[in-house]
Chains A and B, each alone.
Chain A
Amino acid sequence: AAGVIQSPRHLIKEKRETATLKCYPIPRHDTVYWYQQGPGQDPQFLISFYEKMQSDKGSIPDRFSAQQFSDYHSELNMSSLELGDSALYFCASSLGLGRGSYNEQFFGPGTRLTVL
């Protein structure tokens, strides 16, 4: 079965550079979520999109922006990168905002961002 695809899997950037992470949800999933997971920490919710519109916002820094495109893939744009942005960035997808008692989010493998 098709899963959530994230690219790139690894990314190394210098401070103050920009980075773009991409997420391709499971086919027919219309909701995408972005999470940031620092070393030894639980995932922190950044932002989510449903039908190409922002559906919820978490602890996403102002330096970051994201959008969902007509084919439902999403991109997380990160500017003025800081050392503290080094983390594993997960994308998850679900169907219909994950409504219902089994509102499951399916996670991608993550993109490991290292800022030097």
Chain B
Amino acid sequence: KNQVEQSPQSLIILEGKNCTLQCNYTVSPFSNLRWYKQDTGRGPVSLTIMTFSENTKSNGRYTATLDADTKQSSLHITASQLSDSASYICVVTTSGTYKYIFGTGTRLKVLA
């Protein structure tokens, strides 16, 4: 069964600190992996996308990694800001059917 699991479920950090979110997946066949940021009550917004051959992708203070062998990805947030408070969702797309398989998300709260 195609599944995407994320950890931790929730996280509280102080402003300016770094954090790393984890995503493990059992999706086959694999096409790509995205990290989305979802503010409360809003639609998800794409942060990064990685295909099978890519193992690191950065977008400002966000850096995503992908290990296709172990089927793990991480999202590292550097120098966190209050505006980083949101849910971060890992989404894996299957090749062929192009279905989005959503992770359960990590709810991040950044405190001043």
Give A contacts to B, CB under 8 Å. 4, 33, 41-43, 45, 56, 88, 90, 92, 97-99, 101-110, 112
Q: In this complex, what residue of B is CB-closest to A90?
A: B43
Q: How many B residues touch A, CB cutoff 8 Å?
A: 22
The residues in B between 40 and 55 inclusive whose CB is less than 8 angstroms from any CB of A are 41-46, 49, 51
Whether A42 and B98, one on each chain, are in contact in the complex, defined by CB atoms closer than 8 angstroms, is no
Verify A104–B98 contact, CB threshold 8 A.
no
CA distance A54 to B47 in the complex (A): 29
How many A-B contacts if CB must be within 8 Å? 48
Majority SS of interface residues in chain A?
Answer: loop
Top-4 shortest CB links A-B: A107-B43, A42-B102, A98-B98, A103-B98
Residue of A nearest to B31 (CB): A101
- A41–B44 CA distance with the chains assembled, in angstroms: 13
Identify whether the interface residues of B are mostly helix, strand, loop, or mixed: strand
Q: CB-CB < 8 A to B105: which residues of A?
A: 42
- Cβ of A110 and Cβ of B42 under 8 Å apart? yes
Decide yes or no: A105 and B100 within 8 Å by CB, A4-B43, A42-B105 being known contacts: yes
A105–B45 Cα gap in the complex (Å)?
A: 10
| CA A107 to CA B42, docked complex, whole Å | 9
The 9 sampled A-B contact pairs (Cβ below 8 Å) are A41-B104, A45-B99, A45-B100, A92-B43, A97-B98, A102-B51, A104-B49, A108-B43, A110-B43
Contacts of A102 on B, CB cut-off 8 Å?
32, 49, 51
Min distance, Cβ B37 to any Cβ of chain A, angstroms? 11
Query: Cα distance A56–B99 when bound, in Å?
Result: 9
B31 in contact with A103 (CB, 8 Å) = yes
By a CB distance below 8 angstroms, the chain A residues around B97 are: 56
Distance A45 CA – B89 CA, assembled complex (angstroms):
15
A56 CA / B94 CA spacing, docked (Å): 14
Against A, the Cβ 8 Å flags (1 = close, 0 = not) of B27-45 are: 0000110101000011111
- Write the chain A residue with the least CB distance to B34: A104
